[in-house]
Structure 1
Amino acid sequence: MGGSRSQVNKAHKSRFSSKASRQVHKTSRIDKSRISKPERNVTKGARAARIQRSKMVRDQKRAALLKEKRASSASTSPPRVIVLFGLSASVNLDALEKDLLTLLSPEGTKATSATVASPDYKLRAMVLKAPHGDLLTCMEMAKVADLIAFVATASSLCEEDMSVFHVDSFGSQCLSVFRSIGLPSTALLIRDLPLEPRRKQELKKMCLSSLASEFPEDCKFYPADTKDELHKFLWLFKEQRLTVPHWRNQRPFLMAQEVGLVNDDSNPGKCTLILSGYLRARSLSINQLVHLSGTGDFQLCKIDLLKDPFPLNAKKGPELMDSDELHDLQAIRSLVPDPLKQEPLLVENIPDPLAGEQTWPTEAEMAEADRIHKQKEQKKKILPRGTSDYQAAWIVDDTDEEVSGSEAEEDDGMVLDEEENGFSGPEGSNYSDLDEDHAVSLNLRNSDDETEADTAMTEGENLTREQIEDEIRKIKDAHAEDEEYPDEVDTPFDVPARKRFAKYRGMKSFRTSSWDPKESLPPEYARIFAFDNFARTRKHVLSKALDMDQGAKEDCVPVGSYIRIFIKEVQVDVASKLSILAKTSPVLACGLFQHESKMSVMHFSIRKHDSYSAPIKAKETLTFHVGFRQFIARPIFSSDNMNSDKHKMERFLHAGRFSIASVYAPISFPPLPLIVLKCEQGEGSPTAVAAVGSLKSIDPDRIILKKIILTGYPQRVSKLKATVRYMFHNPEDVRWFKPVEVWTKCGRRGRVKEPVGTHGALKCTFDGVVQQHDTVCMSLYKRVYPKWPEQRFPVLDR
């Protein structure tokens, strides 16, 4: 009864195949202890190496965290900076500052200094209040803050919606700027809450729901009316692990608590500026250069290591010190620079006027020239007279029509070395990108209507200049709806196009055509510096700074020290302004890395600020805040093409997207944030935030091209050929721009064949049928550069 149709029952499913196998998965206690030991379980090989490396990384992170915690709680660390920022003008920061200082130091509230050492909290702190409406001062305070305490008041509830806390326009603007700079640790203090517990809790929840989206996720909300509430805030702040932006920990900086100056009799108009304060972030070398915020880069002539004026474990108890007592502190140790090791204050390169002079060639150069000459002789393509290999890259190989030597000598096309016009621009007909079928059709298909077009062009020969301008205006108005081509320019009547557009050239392909980055550089490029390998130089400079910070060197002062630095050769009027400014705003001095005083071409990734609606034109004077540094620049804007080494210039900074701003500026090593300020026209006008971004790269060889489009309009059309007018106004210009490709707005591409008549009309051949209403265009390009700023650093007029 068997066979293929016999019944097959499902096998019995059991966890164990037999009773004996039930105990296999169980292990004895001895075996368990043997398995739990990692040295017996881990075998040699890649897995063991991975486990060992993971353990090493964990230990390093644990040690670094423990070291940071010990350093932050030690008495040698600098005082923590608390910046009080009111979200609206109705917030009373004076009362809050007084309450905090009273709580930290009940016996020293009579002093004027905002720094206090509190043994009760085991905390040293500096309390600063940001002036509402002063954008520059708020920015400088945010750069040095260890904690930004945003203050909201319950009396600022919106009248329309009582459940929303009000943040005015200045508060919103500063919030966005702080985010761009990099927010440190944050907290939100709520003032003027009612005494009733239920109503107080409701308002706190309203504040949390309406303002939570404006701040980071780890931002804590504290009521700050009573002494107990402020005590809780300070105790949690003391235990909190503070976070600061990464760029701020890379450079040593000092926020001056005392500013003075000493006149230099040997150098009239200059003086020595004296700044006293705590050194933060990194160790500072006496041989380093320093940047004085808003003023410039300087050398140090002396550093005094002073006794800490605010010791945490003082015997006589907490107190605040007056400015006279700070000034009279005695120096424990003094450092003077070593002339052999001190970084030179080199800003611009000294151009050599004889650098381009011809010298007698060496034997190696002559052998190289012979080799190149033999390679040229082997080339089949015959080029116009005076054309180099670089220029020949834009000359099309015409395999169908061989050009003889005599024809090349009589060629009237674009020859780069033509002395008559000084033209260094367009070469190369760009129709080589056409398909092979189209190229064949351009050469083989002829029309019998060419003579008719020639005679028809004589109709426009007798028009006056005014009549031609009126006709061009009418055609322009008919095409006014087409806004896809903002680069269109009109060819002038009084200046030949070959002279007006002498610096422009045509390209076969914007993406693949070659452009020598060292060709025809402006005179400003002789004054700047460039890196052979920027990434390698940056790595070397940062590692050198890290070694200086970790090693105990005699020419360095450690972090947390109270020091007095002497900055030499500062202008007297600038030093006087700084001494007055120090009473209301922090005066910052930051150490510079090697090469950071030298000028180069810097590129920033930038976008227009949401609150700024006015147009920002290229080469407009703007103030750049890059980290701790400030300088004036005149940038040009360009697109960021990832798949090409050439980038198109943008005439304006467009809203809603990122662009690249290129400027002449002192070298800085990324990452660094960028805030662009623009002073509105008119006396007393406020400074507005125009754009934000970050430093991207330093590269003088970045090619930025300005594009223009010359337009013409078909007068006679015969299948693939057309007679175009109003692109040029004389036949010499047509012959000059003959090698450049032409295209139409409807998608046709072609080449210029010959001029027609005496008024600049031209014959063109295309790869398809041309419509009568179409527009013929010619694209030309030239390389552009940023403008050298007349003034490098902003005037201190705050």
Structure 2
Amino acid sequence: MDGKVKKQKQHQQKHSGPKAEKKKAKKESGSAEEDERKRNPKAFAVQSATRMAKTFHRAQDIKTRKHHIPLVDRTPLKPPPVVIVVVGPPKVGKSTLIRCLIKNFTRQKLGDICGPVTIVSGKKHRLTFVECNNDINTMIDLAKVADLVLMLIDASFGFEMETFEFLNICQVHGFPRIMGVLTHLDSFKNNKTLRKTKKNLKHRFWTEVYQGAKLFYLSGMVYGEYQTQEVKNLGRFISVMKFRPLVWQTSHPYVLVDRMEDLTDPDKIRTDPKCDRTVSLYGYLRGTHLKNKGQVHIAGVGDFQLSDVNFLPDPCPLPDAQKKRALNEKERLLYAPMAGVGGVVYDKDAVYIDLPASHVNQQQVCAREV
């Protein structure tokens, strides 16, 4: 012997024969737990009747909470944009939040938020953002048409009168989906105070809305905008949210006007500034069918009779039907006529074409090179 250890012969596993076939069938079926139950039934029996009863009651409670009265969903195959109303007291960051969400979805910056802003957020989703002013009439009008409410709360001050007013108005007209957003969290210097404030505001918000309502935290601002990751997280929740049809909205035809034109003869206005005007209103029709020559109510103005109702091409269409995983940059549309964004604007005397600033700069560079 020269000190070498004799190598042990390795086990040759069988790949054929009845025993190998039996092992293979057992592995494929994956019914190991069923065999264990048959072999040792006492191990899987009820050990505690009290614990079993509690588990059963909990499962039934969760199942019962999901029960709801079925409602008829009259949403068409190509649904109109989801109306998102941003509510909050003054100086809480409503316009900033809308600008950040628009930038998150469309990669475009919008200066002034004026009127409804419609964007394409996905292959089958469009969103319309509306900022709610702090007067009771605007709150009542927007509470009726809102699908989702982003309720901004100043964490350094707490809940204000406008928040409770809007919640009570929503309870009267049908409660839409409500998500809370806490701002001005960077004013807290002590982390313990911040955690305590967050917890208190969250439970107070749950008392007003429902237990487990979503409350987002916007921790601070960078260069006049909210942090990108936090806005992206909020935008993701908005995109996947499902809405229940509200009774008032499904039983009434209503239009959220995003563009308005005065078609009155200019000479008539010059001679009599207080003459009756002929006005053309544009917007997506929601709810039931709108009848021609019917009576309508214009919020803040009064009751009128429609002269004519027409279908128009979609100013903010959904992307093409071809299969793809995401939107390209050209299909990330933004439509805000009252803010001066949205392609071609027709006037009585002339036609104006709005070009993005980057396009104008490219043309100027080309002209210099020539």
Q: What TM-score do you get using the length of structure 2 for normalisation?
A: 0.58
Q: State the SS of the aligned residue for 2:307.
A: strand
Residue 117 of structure 2 corresponds to which residue in structure 1? 115
Q: Of 145, 170, 177, which aligns to 1:178? A: 170
Contact 2:153/2:180 (8 A) holds in 1: yes
In structure 2, the residue matched to 1:167 is 159
Residue in structure 2 matched with residue 317 of structure 1 by the alignment: 331
In 2: Cα distance, 1:224 partner to 1:120 partner: 24
> Is the contact between residue 106 and residue 121 of structure 2 (CA under 8 Å) also seen in structure 1?
no
**For residue 177 of structure 2, what is the amino acid of its counterpart?**
S
Q: 2:131 aligns with which of 125, 129, 141?
A: 129
Deviation, structure 1 residue 277: 0.5
- The equivalent position to 1:328 in structure 2, one of 346, 356, 359, is 346
State the partner residue of 1:294.
300
Aligned-partner SS, 1:304 = coil
1:305 counterpart = 2:311: yes
Cα deviation for residue 270 of structure 1 reads 2.6
Q: Which residue of 2 aligns with 1:488?
A: none
Match of 1:148 in 2: 149
Q: 1:218 to 1:260 in 2, by over 3 A?
A: farther
Which secondary structure state, in structure 2, belongs to the residue aligned with residue 256 of structure 1? strand
Alpha carbons of structure 1 residues 181 and 97: separation in structure 2 relative to 1, 3 Å: same
1:49-128 alignment, distance < 5 Å: 71=76, 76-86=78-88, 88-107=89-108, 109=110, 114-120=116-122, 122-128=124-130
| Letter paired with 2:254 | F
Q: Which sections of structure 2, spanning at least 5 residues, go unmatched?
A: 1-68, 220-226, 321-327, 348-370
- Give the 3 Å change call, closer, same or farther, for CA 241–321 of structure 1 in structure 2: closer
Aligned to 1:224: 218
**Residues 187-196 or 305-314, more deviating:** 187-196
| Structure 1 counterpart of 2:17 | none
- The answer to whether the 8 A contact 1:116-1:318 is kept is no
Contact 1:79 1:125 in 2 (8 A): yes
Percent identical: 22
Q: Is the 8 A contact 1:154 1:203 kept in 2?
A: yes
Counterpart of 1:103, as a letter, is N
CA contact (8 A) 2:155 2:197 kept: yes
- Whether contact under 8 Å (2:173, 2:248) holds in the other structure is no
Higher radius of gyration, 1 or 2 = 1
Distance in 2, Cα, partners of 1:171 & 1:199 = 23
Q: Look up the equivalent residue of 1:190 and give its one-letter code.
A: L
Please provide the CA RMSD for this pair: 3.5
Q: Identify if the C-alpha distance between structure 1 residues 96 and 168 changes in structure 2 by more than 3 Å, giving closer, same or farther.
A: same
CA contact (8 A) 1:193 1:203 kept: no
Secondary structure class of the residue paired with 2:137: helix
Structure-2 separation of matches of 1:111 and 1:190? 23
The CA distance in 1 between the partners of 2:249 and 2:96, in whole Å, is 30
Please identify which structure carries the higher helix content: 2
Q: 1:187 aligns with which of 175, 179, 188?
A: 179
Structure with more contact order per residue of length (Cα contacts < 8 Å, sep ≥ 6): 2
Shift in Å at residue 299 of structure 1? 2.5
For residues 180 and 123 of structure 2, the distance between their equivalents in structure 1, rounded to whole angstroms, comes to 20
* 1:98-124 Cα distance to aligned partner (Å, 9 max, x none): 211111211353586642333557531
The SS at the match of 1:282 is: coil
Q: Structure 1 residues 253 and 177 mapped into 2: Cα distance closer, same or farther (>3 Å)?
A: same
Is this contact kept in 2: 1:183–1:244, CA < 8 A?
A: no
Q: Which residue of 1 aligns with 2:363?
A: none
Does the C-alpha gap of structure 1 residues 123 and 108 become closer, same or farther in structure 2, counting only changes over 3 Å?
farther
Separation in 2 of the partners of 1:221 and 1:227? 17
Check the 8 A contact 2:258/2:336 in 1, yes or no. Answer: no
The corresponding residue for 1:248 is 249
Stretches of structure 1 that go unaligned for 5 or more consecutive residues are 1-59, 157-165, 330-798
- Aligned equivalent of 1:270: 276
The structural deviation recorded for 1:271 is 3.0
Using a 3 Å threshold, how does the CA distance of structure 1 residues 203 and 168 change in structure 2: closer, same or farther? Answer: closer
Compute the TM-score of the two structures, normalised by the length of structure 1: 0.29
Task: Assess if the C-alpha contact under 8 Å between 1:84 and 1:127 holds in 2.
Answer: yes
Residue of structure 1 in register with 2:19 after alignment: none
Distance in 1 separating the partners of 2:101 and 2:197 = 23
Is residue 207 from structure 1 mapped to residue 201 from structure 2 by the alignment?
yes
How many residue pairs get matched? 252
What residue identity is the alignment partner of 1:125? L
The corresponding residue for 2:55 is none
- Find the residue that maps to 1:302 and give its secondary structure: coil
